[in-house]
Structure 1
Amino acid sequence: MNDAGDGGSATRSALDVRTVLVPASDPAASAALIDLLPADAPLSWLRRGEGLVGWGVAATVRTSGPTRFSDAAKWWTETVAAATVEDSVDEPGTGLVCFGTFTFSDEPPADDFADGDSVLVVPQVVVGRRGDLTWLTTIGVADAHVEVADAPAPPVDLTFADGALSGDEWMEVVADAVSRIEAGDLEKIVLARDLVATAAAPIDIRWPLRRLAAAYPTCWTFHVDGLFGATPEMLVRRERGLVTSRVLAGTIRRTGDDERDLALAAMLAHSSKDLEEHEYAVRSVAEALEPYCSSMNVPETPFVLHLPNVLHLATDVAGVARDGESALELAAALHPSAAVGGTPTPVARALITEIEGMDRGRYAAPVGWMDATGDGEWGIALRSGVLHDNQVRLFAGCGIVGGSDPEAELAESQAKFVPVREALGG
């Protein structure tokens, strides 16, 4: 056990890392990455069939508190420096790779069902794919046998119940927040709520992961240390000097009727309430990234992102990295954006603690991966749940501004529960 600073603890030894291409003739090169995951300690970060999956634990660190990001970044720098790497592929995501998940708050967890630790984990085996390339990385193990895993079983006798607050109680919280916004205390707050799903036996995390990857291919399907989901929102990507961030704020539920949904998309694109909420979120990301970029592109007008369950206003912010900050350090600078906290962010975060009525754990915080060069992708843990044995805690959040209607926000939150709820089978 090595000291990881005041905020956590670590396991680490000097790692031997080897990355090789998987030949096109190998069945693993044509199999879906999500189908390769075994039941033991699976990790995933996938979109449109590309990305990374991993399993086993070669090294890990757990941190907490206000220094959780810097403690984790320090541990990763030291782990990279001590590693011996043989990488014949040399793509982002090859060589030494870690997966990570971080808590939303600086504070210790307020309830027993919240995850108080932030985690980086280096798997023993990683399989990655980008375009026509598939590669295999082994870390601290001599060899690995990769094959399509057995199909996971669905959850047994699944039931759903209110989490910290009922729907009616949560609408009262929303009404309270609207009154404070209209009184001038703040401009926007993002309020979340939870549901608890309980099965009669332990849940195989691979079941919802496979269903999420199939149903939401344009989202990033992730699993790290019990936290899983399909997020539509990229907090930050760093790749060979280019920094990008996808901002989502402003949502409307789809009806399933294509013609009606096109009309709803046009309505969303001209909604003053949703455009105002979106502007706050884009501004907070652009201001947070600006010190780290030599140039930036911030589109003036959002586009409408179509997902199977909802429509979002979306903006892709891009920049050229100024210095050598890693993807994780950029994620730390961005968290929390107005899209998951509010505006002004310090006021909104304080109000979230005061009135939201639950501990977010790792919900709405960075989740993703990073390689030894500092390149990586960190999404925001949205459309997500956290698995504890036979229970899953599902999360959904809504941006509240002046004029927000509590009943409409409740309906929006219910739409945002749909991906994980249906992935579980509910």
Structure 2
Amino acid sequence: MLPVKTFHIEDKIQKVHKEAKRTKQQLLLSVTEKIDRVDPFSFFERGGRIDEHRHFWKSADEDFTLVGISSAVSISKTGEDRFQAMENDLLGWMERVRSWNRYNKKGTGAVALGGFSFFGDFVSGKPWDSFPNSNMTIPKFLLTNDRDGSYLTTNVLLTPEEDPEDISMKIEEEKHQLLRAGEETSEEVRLEGVEEVRPEEWKKTIEEATEELKSGSLQKIVLAREVRLTFNAPASITSVLQDLSEMQNASYVFCYEHGGAYFVGATPERLVKVENDELFSACLAGTIRRGGTEEDDDALGDELLADSKNRVEHEYVVRMIRNAVERYAEAVDVPEEPSLYKLRNLQHLYTPVQARLKDGFSLLDVVKDLHPTPALGGLPQQEAVDYIRKHEFMNRGWYASPIGWIDGGLNGEFAVAIRSALIRENRASLFAGCGVVESSDPESEYEETQVKLKPMLAVLGGKE
């Protein structure tokens, strides 16, 4: 028995197809139904039988999960104007949506999921060969889970030339595969090798960066490094997502699949959220490990709050985010002092930002200006990005970039893609970075990246 109430969309497909033929344009049919509770991980796993283009998003601070399977509409952009170009195309498609959705639920309907590369002129190369510069996808099937239950949105692209009966049959077959209860089995996967990519050379780049900071106009540079893993068998992405969700429950858990490669992670860092014109952002910079006992943990937290290097780093981020938000929002509220944001392995300096979006501006306007924050790029922004491009010897791809979702009203949320890995078959590339200022010590920064790698290492078979 399917865990879904009987619901047929053939008549709606026929109706919208007639309009597509009459107007000679492509239209997007979007139908949302409430279904019996569906496990998002099982849904994601079963989606792999339909298409190698899946998306997963789990919120850090509320009961809210999105799982997208296959593609009704896929938009890719490149270049420095990619955020505006992406928004223009999304708005164009939203005008062509014919929606049946009687539920006032965010994350249902024609929702686009995806992300952007770190660099605007990013060209695919190893290990990011199958990833575009940027991509937002309106999935064919979208599962939305919140505290009230599960909702399934079916998005169907209808063209004048296609046979609506064939489309209806295929949709019903694929829905049956997605919602059919059954056991998922996976081969046991063991970690067989760990390779740190040029660690001593990386430490040398930290030393060189501190000299640059002392002599030039740069105030901070964020430099990242890569660790490569090999396994005895292809990694189970569903298992990785389940483990991340359990172990990092105060983080955004995400996965974006392109051409058999998976960008997956658990990031604590919200970039920006817009909901009914209310804007939320967060400043997260300054890191220390968790303690083994409550007393040790509190002492480490106090040490972080008192550490001048981390406080300077954090203040850079607060100042930049405040300035960016004030261009697009009013009634901006930023606390005077940071607090501690505690995760399983780490604790961070944290300052929330809340405001009200001004008329005429959108979520992607804010994303464009905030990326990259000083926590992921440096200051001044463009000079730091140029320095990273010249001196960092790994391909960032989508690492440290904006990832998230956006709906037809341009509400949505983007996080910063850190604590992450790119996985293809039996190999994975893990990424971690640190903020370099004048007082940075290469060995200390290396140790900080080791701590930041732990969340992904733990779920991929390494020691926590």
- Unpaired segments of 5 or more residues in structure 1? 1-11
- Post-superposition Cα deviations, 1:251-283, rounded to whole Å, max 9, x if no partner, equal 012243332111000111111111100000111
Separation in structure 2 between the aligned mates of residue 398 and residue 250 of structure 1, nearest angstrom: 9
1:118 is matched with 134
Q: Residues 155 and 170 of structure 1: is their aligned pair in 2 closer, same or farther, counting only changes over 3 Å?
A: farther
Separation in structure 1 between the aligned mates of residue 240 and residue 349 of structure 2, nearest angstrom: 26
User: Which among 55, 62, 69 is matched to residue 55 of structure 1?
Assistant: 69
User: Which among 180, 185, 198 is matched to residue 217 of structure 2?
Assistant: 185
1:73 is matched with 87
The percent of aligned pairs where both chains have the same amino acid is 33
1:15 lines up with 2:31 in the alignment = no
2:145 is matched with 129
Aligned partner of residue 382 in structure 1, secondary structure: coil
Aligned partner of residue 236 in structure 1, secondary structure: strand
Separation in structure 2 between the aligned mates of residue 227 and residue 327 of structure 1, nearest angstrom: 23
Task: Note if contact 1:188-1:342 (Cα within 8 Å) is conserved in structure 2.
Answer: yes
2:21 is matched with none
Aligned partner of residue 136 in structure 2, secondary structure: strand
Task: Note if contact 1:158-1:199 (Cα within 8 Å) is conserved in structure 2.
Answer: yes
1:162 lines up with 2:195 in the alignment = yes
1:87 lines up with 2:101 in the alignment = yes
User: Which among 230, 245, 251 is matched to residue 219 of structure 1?
Assistant: 251
Q: Residues 27 and 297 of structure 1: is their aligned pair in 2 closer, same or farther, counting only changes over 3 Å?
A: closer
Separation in structure 2 between the aligned mates of residue 157 and residue 129 of structure 1, nearest angstrom: 31
- Unpaired segments of 5 or more residues in structure 2? 1-24, 157-167
Separation in structure 1 between the aligned mates of residue 181 and residue 298 of structure 2, nearest angstrom: 39
Task: Note if contact 2:273-2:412 (Cα within 8 Å) is conserved in structure 1.
Answer: yes
- Post-superposition Cα deviations, 1:72-108, rounded to whole Å, max 9, x if no partner, equal 2122111111111111112221211010111000223
- Post-superposition Cα deviations, 1:8-45, rounded to whole Å, max 9, x if no partner, equal xxxx94211011223xxx242xx4x3343225133111
Shift of 1:248: 0.7
Separation in structure 2 between the aligned mates of residue 69 and residue 171 of structure 1, nearest angstrom: 34
User: Which among 266, 272, 276 is matched to residue 312 of structure 2?
Assistant: 276
1:361 counterpart letter in structure 2 = G
RMSD of Structure 2 on Structure 1 (CA): 2.0
Task: Note if contact 2:126-2:395 (Cα within 8 Å) is conserved in structure 1.
Answer: no
TM-score (norm 2): 0.83
2:225 counterpart letter in structure 1 = R
Shift of 1:200: 3.7
Bigger Cα displacement from structure 2, 136-145 vs 339-348: 136-145
User: Which among 263, 271, 292 is matched to residue 256 of structure 1?
Assistant: 292
2:56 counterpart letter in structure 1 = S
Q: Which has the higher helix share?
A: 2
Task: Note if contact 2:321-2:373 (Cα within 8 Å) is conserved in structure 1.
Answer: yes
1:34 lines up with 2:46 in the alignment = no
Bigger Cα displacement from structure 2, 235-244 vs 105-114: 105-114
Shift of 1:423: 1.5
Shift of 1:365: 0.4
User: Which among 238, 242, 251 is matched to residue 210 of structure 1?
Assistant: 242
Larger Rg: 2
User: Which among 297, 301, 305 is matched to residue 333 of structure 2?
Assistant: 297
1:420 counterpart letter in structure 2 = M
Separation in structure 1 between the aligned mates of residue 301 and residue 34 of structure 2, nearest angstrom: 43
Shift of 1:418: 1.2
Separation in structure 2 between the aligned mates of residue 49 and residue 147 of structure 1, nearest angstrom: 24
User: Which among 293, 296, 312 is matched to residue 348 of structure 2?
Assistant: 312
Aligned partner of residue 399 in structure 2, secondary structure: coil
How many equivalent pairs are there? Answer: 408
Within-5 A mapping of 1:140-155: 140=156, 142-143=171-172, 144-145=175-176, 146=179, 150-151=183-184, 153=186
Shift of 1:149: 6.2
Q: Residues 245 and 184 of structure 1: is their aligned pair in 2 closer, same or farther, counting only changes over 3 Å?
A: same
TM-score (norm 1): 0.90
Within-5 A mapping of 1:345-364: 345-364=381-400
Separation in structure 1 between the aligned mates of residue 431 and residue 180 of structure 2, nearest angstrom: 33
1:7 is matched with none
Task: Note if contact 2:334-2:352 (Cα within 8 Å) is conserved in structure 1.
Answer: yes
1:128 counterpart letter in structure 2 = T
Task: Note if contact 1:369-1:378 (Cα within 8 Å) is conserved in structure 2.
Answer: yes
1:358 counterpart letter in structure 2 = M
1:322 lines up with 2:353 in the alignment = no
Aligned partner of residue 226 in structure 2, secondary structure: strand
2:426 is matched with 390
Q: Residues 149 and 353 of structure 1: is their aligned pair in 2 closer, same or farther, counting only changes over 3 Å?
A: farther
User: Which among 52, 55, 58 is matched to residue 46 of structure 1?
Assistant: 58
Task: Note if contact 2:272-2:413 (Cα within 8 Å) is conserved in structure 1.
Answer: yes
- Post-superposition Cα deviations, 1:385-405, rounded to whole Å, max 9, x if no partner, equal 112333221111111112111
Shift of 1:157: 4.1
Q: Residues 160 and 289 of structure 1: is their aligned pair in 2 closer, same or farther, counting only changes over 3 Å?
A: farther
1:196 lines up with 2:232 in the alignment = no
